[in-house]
Structure 1
Amino acid sequence: MKGFLGLMCNKAKIGLLLLMVTMIGCNTLKRVDDNELLLTKNTVYADEEKVKDDNIQSLIAQKPNSSLLGYRLRLNLYNLAKENPDSSFQNWLHRKEKREKRLNRLLSKKQVNRLKESFVVKGASDFFKRIGEPPAVIDTALTQKTVDRLKAYYNSKGYFNNSGTYSIVKGKRKKRAEVDYKISLEKPFLIDTILKNISSPELDSIYDSSLNNSLVKDGEQFDLANFNQERERLTTLFRNSGVYNFQESSINYDILRDTSQVANDQLMDVQLNIQKPRSTGDTSLTNSPYRIHKLKKINIYADYLIGGGTDSLKSIEYENYTIYYNNRLKYKPKALTDAIFFEKDSIYRDLDRIRTYRQITNLNTFKYPNIEFIPDTTQAQLITNIYLAPRPKYSLNLDLDVTHSNIQQVGTAFSGSVITRNVFGGTETLNISARGSIGLLNGRNISIAGETFTSEIGGDINITFPRIWFPLNTEKIIPYYMLPQSRFLIGTNFQKNIGLDKQSFNSILSYNWSPSNSLKHNVELLNVEFVRNVNPNNFYNVYQNTFSNLDNIADEFQDDPQYATFFRDSENTEDPLILGIPDGANEFVQAVLNGEIPVTTEQLSEVNSIEERRQRLTENNLIFASNYTYTKNSKIDVNDNDFYQFRLKLESAGNLLSLLDGAIPYNKNDNDQLLVFGVPFSQYFKTEFDFVRHWEVSSSKVLAFRSFFGLAIPYGNSESIPFVRSYFAGGSNDNRAWNPYELGPGSTSNINDFNEANLKLAMNLEYRFPIAGDVKGALFADAGNIWNVFDNEDNPDAIFSDFSSLADIALGTGFGIRYDFTYFIFRLDIGFKTYNPAEEVSKRWFRQYNFKNAGFNIGINYPF
């Protein structure tokens, strides 16, 4: 009987599955008529060879409905919408004779009429139509349009005699079909000789000097894309060689052969034509050949008002520039001329115009400038007028944010800043900012902190100079077109939360410059940070796992009367006595380390490790560092989905202070560390490599990869890295299967409440795809961990010893849902512990692969 019931149950499951598949299939074809075919696939063949190139695929005018893991989600959502919701509502309303009258009495006639516009009646259908896709029913007009596009594309590649057809191949399943596009290419045409017809002798000379860089060459296959790129190259070349008014439309090519005639050689001659400028409304330029212009005079209007006159302005001459101003010149002349890359009596270069625009915008003192060129055609000279409209002297910014983290349930952060421009007359910018936050702690952290709220308050004074502020002249090494900036910042921050409560003071002197749009250098010559722990006695309350390990060791001695002062009563009935905090715990540790309490070798090692961690996390830190960051980013704009980004950072701390030992009589503590203002300064070397690569798999689908390596090595005056400079693993921008500070170090299992170390490896791979409308999806895999190396850690499970330690790399996999608000992305990522190095070797794979142990992460914008 049991076997019979099991068989019937299995049959029922199979039947239910078949019913679901049938319903899905029927829903897919719901809006496909009997005489129509649903497009399921497009295939392009060039000379019988299948073509998968994205450029070719983008030419197809009609494509199948999008799918999610093989399921056409958006099509089925669209089919859920009622075709005519108004008619359906009216039919329902009049289906029963008295239904409309009852509704009119209950709601009123006006309300009943409004029902048909409600979300239930009409809004839901509009919503499904908006996020869904109508069925891609094969349209022969669109298929022929695709053939024409394919022929035109291959025609642009030199296959002038190609031909194309399409065929509709019905599928095995009803009302479905594929479309095959077949292009016969024939032999391509090759460029035999390039002739030239250039109306201007000056342009002819410039062209001849650049022939080696030409993108159109003899013997190569004809490719229209190369001709378009060559036109752009020549336009840029001429405009950077003095021809300020050169128009790309003046360049065209003639093919000196009848390409409809097929021959054995398929060679053709091409003639380059560069004509006179077309009429621009200036009769003096019409029908005149292009000429190389020099800059006759450069005028700078420093107080320009749009629509205002210039006759009443005063002026001064400064290094071949004429500066006009109103009443009083508010800017140092050098600050203005350093931003201008035009020079008197030099030839015009479009590059100088672009650099001038960039540098003036970079000053953050003026609005986007207006540059005017007035030609003197008789002498081929230009008068340049640069109009600078000042921004407001002062501006105020206010921000308010609502935050959430693993520490607080909800928080409110507010900040404000006052910006003062042109502080010293050299277009400097002064930014004075203040910030604060208050948050409600979650349940566990309330018990740790003994308080309900966390708070933070801080402020900065930041001044930016649009030049390298240095005793030596750096202009030859870092010219002004690289947008150099110097920044000096001084700030402080007061933090009160579940931790030890910190006060920090920091000061930064940094320089940055950008040789190009994709390259940036940043040097922090001085980065000084002082961190003071306000409440060090709260250590064992905050780091409860650490306290629990220590208390377990002390349990063996709690009944001995000579150690009674170390303990206090506990509310836990299973453990009625625990170490007192902080005195009892600290005194017990000292007694163990002094040999006054007999413990095992393993216990002594653990107590020593706990004490070292307590001292490191409760001691004040003085970090006196310098660093250099190199950033390379190939991303063109926000819509570029195929790019890479590389960042290298090198940092050194404490070396200058160490070199002054002897010159300055430093004091020393019991550990023989040098003290500055009574605090041992940190000494370490740190390096980081961060690489991000995005590949555009297809339209709206992106494969994103990131790798990170970070290593900080303490030496000299330090045996470990300051907590604020160490690494942690886990969180919404790292390994999303673990919470922040939860993973590692190495194969250890949550030995501390906030796990950190000085070596980190991380790799992330994420596939991003559209789901419906502004809703996006992602599948991801995160790998990485942290370890201790070259420091005072002695736990072998936490130390990176050799390549065998790579077995401790944790793996988290999962999926994410994102909503695109245009200006930002809201995302929810769910990560599952796929490989957990903290488990036994035989239990590391998929042991906690469930929602109960998953990591839920909320974030703004993509993690990388």
Structure 2
Amino acid sequence: MKKLFPKITLIFLTGTIFYSCSIVKKVPEDGQLLTKNIILANDTIVKNERIENLLSQKPNGKLLGFPLRLGLYNLAKDNPDSLYYDWLNRKPNRRENLAKLISNKQVDRLSQSFLVSGLSRFLKKTGEAPVIINKIKINSTKNKLKGYYENQGFFNTEISAKIDSVGVKKAKVTYNIITGEPSYIDSISRRIETPEIDSLFTNIQSSSFLKSGDKFNGNNFDLERARLTNYFRNNGVYHFQINHVRYDIITNERDKKVDVVYDIEDRKIKREDTLAKTPFKIYKINQVNIYTNNNSRETNKITDSVSYNNYNIYSNGKLNYKPKAITDAIFIEKGKLFSDLDRSLTSRSLSNLKVFNFPNIEYIEDTLSGGSNKLIANIYLSPLKKKNLNASIDFTHSNIQDFGITGNLSLTFRNLFRRAETLEITTRGNIGSSKDLANPNDTFFNISEYGVDAKLTFPRIFFPINTTRLIKKEMLPTTQMSFGLTNQKNIGLDKENFTGIINYNWLPKDNTTIRFDLINIQFVRNLNIDNYFNVYNSSYNRLNNLAQIYNTNPNNLDEYGDLTFPGAITFIDEVVNNQTALTSDQQDYQSIRSIGERRKRLIENNLIVSSAFTFSKNTRKGFLDNTFYAFKAKLETAGNAISLLAKRKNEPLNDNGNNTVFGIEYAQYVKGEFDLIKHWSLGKKNIIAFRTFGGLAVPYGNANSIPFSRSYFAGGSNDNRGWQAYSLGPGSSGGINDFNEANLKIAASVEYRFNIFGKVNGALFADAGNIWNIFDNVEDKSYTFNGIKSLQDIALGTGIGFRYDFDFFVFRIDLGYKTYNPAKEMSQRWFRDINFSRTVLNFGINYPF
């Protein structure tokens, strides 16, 4: 070790010197590389993203402390084409000899090739030029900082900047800010020339952002300006604009007091060559005209019109819409005051009909009807095509099929019943190839799936009882009726799946959505139950291993001594009926019975008739908003209504002792779940993202388990990334089934996201959670939730992710590792699977949460 230490020290020093020299490789001799900005406010270091964004110069970006992009830029040659010609002309015959192999033209084109200059262009584009300290930009930063602090009420702020060398051609800049004492608002008064504006001002004066005694803050003046403008324009003041709100600010430097005077002058209008003042007026809507297929003001093309509830509806052909369908979506009404809010609601509501393009709404002053202060609202609508046909084709690959072709054909009918209804009919089909499935005829496409869906949308609540008092039209309610039929061949047990849903959606607030599923019917019919042990191969292998010990019936075995698939079913029955040496108090007996019960549950046809209520709230204000939260809660019940029908029909019980309807056992359960996502922006494209989820489905009445399609699973690219989908849990069982599922789930994830360079981003993540059985027919303690002590079975997966942002979507690769594995013995659970060879690779589109 003593001999190695000098060598390690030498390598370290050599690397440090090389790094120090290479990083300033392209810094001019009279320049200095900016390595750090320090902001001191009253001798305290400031780390505030808003203030840091005022800096005109920032150091080169770093990845794990190393300026990677600067390093790439330094690798590029400055004039690669000139260097190429210098090399070419260095020897007199070099150009001629090269021209013999290609041509003179190609010799010149080599200067622009990737190997000669293209690589350098790529490195410069991908990299980042060194940030050279610039005194002009330092002065610009000082001015910005001074403006910022003055806006916060520090009117005597003094700012100085100092450049300190920190190495060869490297320096840091320190900004020293002395703010002095802040100023406070003393008196507030107003000078408003229009009496109507003054009266409106008085109504909302108590809600002002400006209060006597508050510290001066320029942002509050902007908020107050916007508040007043919105209120005035929503109460009839049509011509009012935000720049009409001005302030006279009188400062007293000695007492650090500020007197504020609202200054709202009369409106200025141009008359010939002069500007004249006129008081603001409060306008009412005198007429509302709706042009259903005419985007111009050419009234000579109008051939059909109707007046309905004080609305004038025009068309340049036959009017194809029932008047009520359009007027119900309009909030601008005759006799109401002009309101920006009404215009905004009208635009959203008409767009929500999905039969028109975004509407154009114009206001003009009514000068013909007598009087003043009247507006005519003209609403111009451009219809979408009544029929629309779309087709698409995709090539796919999944864990089920090695190669697949999927096609979709969609036909849309708009304004179906002349009340803005929309009918969408979609047919889809898939053919695929899988080498893992039985294929006696050696057919390449040995998998198929096809289906048809129909969805009818009403832009209102379609219900026998009037709901407008509870769900107002401002909430943009819609009703959807959808029906679907799917048929699968050579996929799992082969299925026919029928769905029928009637649901209602409305928006009680801008960031809140409510969905009520009045009825959701799903009928799943398994067509190939004999294929069960082919699909659930792990169950077969466990059963086959036990049969080697306990099976006494040679008819259950094939020529190799393994259970045949029919023999496997017979063996289960023999064990359960005590026809083998196993007794019910033995663990192997319980395992075999569990395999049999699971098989019965998964091969049964499922009939689920449910209702659900879903509440969603999302505070995100745009794609670039990285500080927000999203919350979703859902309550679902199934089987209650259909149980009443079952009692009336009085059909015989099935083999499980449960009620049936039309010979099919129906599911009965109650299910609740919540999902919370929270993002925090740390600045500079650094984000902390957190998600937590909890769900519980409890069977009762006619069921002692949850249908597979309504159960929970763990693992996968959007869940715990240390495990593959369906491979985690339940509990500490170790995921021994092919598709592990249960009726209780707890999960939480946290992810630190950062930018590497350009559109390449990275993430460090930790995912925790598991699934358990509870309140159902599973009794194995390793599967079930047994109180607080079961929380020690929460699995932890950690890892690193890489993402590339294509603007319209993000491609994601996550490398997950089993950090805490509850399937192992207590002493073996931590860090035993963190090995590159045990990486769980996850691919995904967009972020996991």
Q: Which residue of 2 aligns with 1:506?
A: 499
User: Which of 50, 63, 70 is equivalent to 2:45?
Assistant: 50
Following superposition, the deviation at residue 7 of structure 1 comes to 6.5
* Contact 1:77–1:132 (CA under 8 A) maintained in structure 2: yes
The C-alpha deviation readout for 1:742-765, integer Å capped at 9, x for no partner, is: 111111123201111111111111
Following superposition, the deviation at residue 340 of structure 1 comes to 0.7
Distance in 2, Cα, partners of 1:416 & 1:658: 38
Distance in 1, Cα, partners of 2:298 & 2:428: 40
User: Which of 766, 785, 809 is equivalent to 1:781?
Assistant: 766
Distance in 1, Cα, partners of 2:415 & 2:818: 54
2:214 corresponds to 1:230: no
Q: In the TM superposition, what are the counterparts of 1:328-727 in structure 2 within 5 Å?
A: 328-376=318-366, 378-441=371-434, 444=436, 453-557=446-550, 560=552, 563-570=553-560, 577-581=561-565, 583-600=566-583, 601-727=586-712
* Contact 1:41–1:63 (CA under 8 A) maintained in structure 2: yes
Cα distance change, pair 606–350 in 1 and its aligned pair in 2 (3 A): same
Letter in 1 for 2:792: A
Cα distance change, pair 285–435 in 1 and its aligned pair in 2 (3 A): farther
Cα distance change, pair 635–62 in 1 and its aligned pair in 2 (3 A): same
Following superposition, the deviation at residue 99 of structure 1 comes to 2.4
Letter in 1 for 2:653: K
Gaps of 5+ in 1: 1-5, 571-576
Cα distance change, pair 256–757 in 1 and its aligned pair in 2 (3 A): same
* Contact 1:833–1:848 (CA under 8 A) maintained in structure 2: yes
Cα distance change, pair 75–46 in 1 and its aligned pair in 2 (3 A): same
Cα distance change, pair 177–724 in 1 and its aligned pair in 2 (3 A): same
Distance in 2, Cα, partners of 1:194 & 1:333: 51
Q: Secondary structure at the match of 1:846?
A: coil
The C-alpha deviation readout for 1:429-465, integer Å capped at 9, x for no partner, is: 1100112223333x65679999864332111000100
Q: Secondary structure at the match of 1:796?
A: coil
2:289 corresponds to 1:295: no
Following superposition, the deviation at residue 411 of structure 1 comes to 3.1
Q: Which residue of 1 aligns with 2:176?
A: 182
2:819 corresponds to 1:802: no
* Contact 1:784–1:810 (CA under 8 A) maintained in structure 2: yes
Q: Secondary structure at the match of 2:120?
A: helix
* Contact 2:639–2:667 (CA under 8 A) maintained in structure 1: yes
* Contact 2:268–2:278 (CA under 8 A) maintained in structure 1: no
The C-alpha deviation readout for 1:289-337, integer Å capped at 9, x for no partner, is: 1111111111111221447544543322111111112342211111011
Distance in 2, Cα, partners of 1:695 & 1:283: 54
2:184 corresponds to 1:200: no
Letter in 1 for 2:538: N
Q: Which residue of 2 aligns with 1:326?
A: 316
* Contact 1:304–1:390 (CA under 8 A) maintained in structure 2: no
Following superposition, the deviation at residue 12 of structure 1 comes to 5.2
* Contact 1:647–1:691 (CA under 8 A) maintained in structure 2: yes
Q: Which residue of 1 aligns with 2:83?
A: 88
Letter in 2 for 1:376: D
Q: Which residue of 2 aligns with 1:256?
A: 250
* Contact 1:449–1:497 (CA under 8 A) maintained in structure 2: no
Letter in 2 for 1:214: S
Letter in 2 for 1:357: S
Q: Which residue of 1 aligns with 2:142?
A: 147
Distance in 1, Cα, partners of 2:98 & 2:736: 67
Following superposition, the deviation at residue 663 of structure 1 comes to 2.8
User: Which of 61, 65, 74 is equivalent to 1:66?
Assistant: 61
Distance in 2, Cα, partners of 1:448 & 1:712: 41
The C-alpha deviation readout for 1:31-53, integer Å capped at 9, x for no partner, is: 12333222121121111122112
Cα distance change, pair 33–245 in 1 and its aligned pair in 2 (3 A): same
Distance in 2, Cα, partners of 1:440 & 1:307: 59
Q: Secondary structure at the match of 2:115?
A: helix
Q: Which residue of 1 aligns with 2:836?
A: 851
* Contact 2:810–2:846 (CA under 8 A) maintained in structure 1: yes
User: Which of 151, 154, 161 is equivalent to 1:156?
Assistant: 151
Following superposition, the deviation at residue 496 of structure 1 comes to 2.9
Cα distance change, pair 388–281 in 1 and its aligned pair in 2 (3 A): farther
Bigger drift between 22-31 and 835-844 goes to 22-31
Bigger drift between 841-850 and 607-616 goes to 841-850
Q: Secondary structure at the match of 1:161?
A: coil
* Contact 1:667–1:676 (CA under 8 A) maintained in structure 2: no
Cα distance change, pair 269–336 in 1 and its aligned pair in 2 (3 A): same
Following superposition, the deviation at residue 665 of structure 1 comes to 2.1
Distance in 1, Cα, partners of 2:711 & 2:836: 30
Q: Secondary structure at the match of 2:277?
A: coil
Distance in 1, Cα, partners of 2:768 & 2:531: 34
* Contact 2:646–2:661 (CA under 8 A) maintained in structure 1: no
Cα distance change, pair 409–17 in 1 and its aligned pair in 2 (3 A): farther
Following superposition, the deviation at residue 22 of structure 1 comes to 3.7
2:95 corresponds to 1:106: no
TM-score (ref. length: structure 2):
0.96
* Contact 1:449–1:498 (CA under 8 A) maintained in structure 2: no
Cα distance change, pair 280–25 in 1 and its aligned pair in 2 (3 A): farther
Cα distance change, pair 244–448 in 1 and its aligned pair in 2 (3 A): farther
Q: Secondary structure at the match of 1:668?
A: coil
Following superposition, the deviation at residue 190 of structure 1 comes to 1.3
Distance in 1, Cα, partners of 2:688 & 2:346: 38
Distance in 2, Cα, partners of 1:10 & 1:401: 60
User: Which of 696, 706, 713 is equivalent to 1:728?
Assistant: 713
* Contact 1:130–1:773 (CA under 8 A) maintained in structure 2: no
Distance in 1, Cα, partners of 2:393 & 2:347: 33
Bigger drift between 445-454 and 626-635 goes to 445-454
* Contact 1:216–1:227 (CA under 8 A) maintained in structure 2: yes
Bigger drift between 715-724 and 312-321 goes to 312-321
Following superposition, the deviation at residue 58 of structure 1 comes to 0.9
The C-alpha deviation readout for 1:763-782, integer Å capped at 9, x for no partner, is: 11111111121211111111
The C-alpha deviation readout for 1:610-640, integer Å capped at 9, x for no partner, is: 1000001111100001111111000111111
Letter in 2 for 1:139: N
* Contact 2:269–2:278 (CA under 8 A) maintained in structure 1: no
Letter in 2 for 1:579: L
* Contact 1:449–1:542 (CA under 8 A) maintained in structure 2: no
Following superposition, the deviation at residue 796 of structure 1 comes to 0.7
Cα distance change, pair 102–372 in 1 and its aligned pair in 2 (3 A): same
Bigger drift between 735-744 and 355-364 goes to 735-744
Cα distance change, pair 531–325 in 1 and its aligned pair in 2 (3 A): same
Bigger drift between 31-40 and 515-524 goes to 31-40
* Contact 2:111–2:117 (CA under 8 A) maintained in structure 1: yes
Bigger drift between 669-678 and 230-239 goes to 669-678
Q: How many residues align?
A: 843
Following superposition, the deviation at residue 256 of structure 1 comes to 2.6
Distance in 2, Cα, partners of 1:9 & 1:306: 86
TM-score (ref. length: structure 1):
0.94
Q: Which residue of 2 aligns with 1:3?
A: none
Bigger drift between 462-471 and 810-819 goes to 810-819
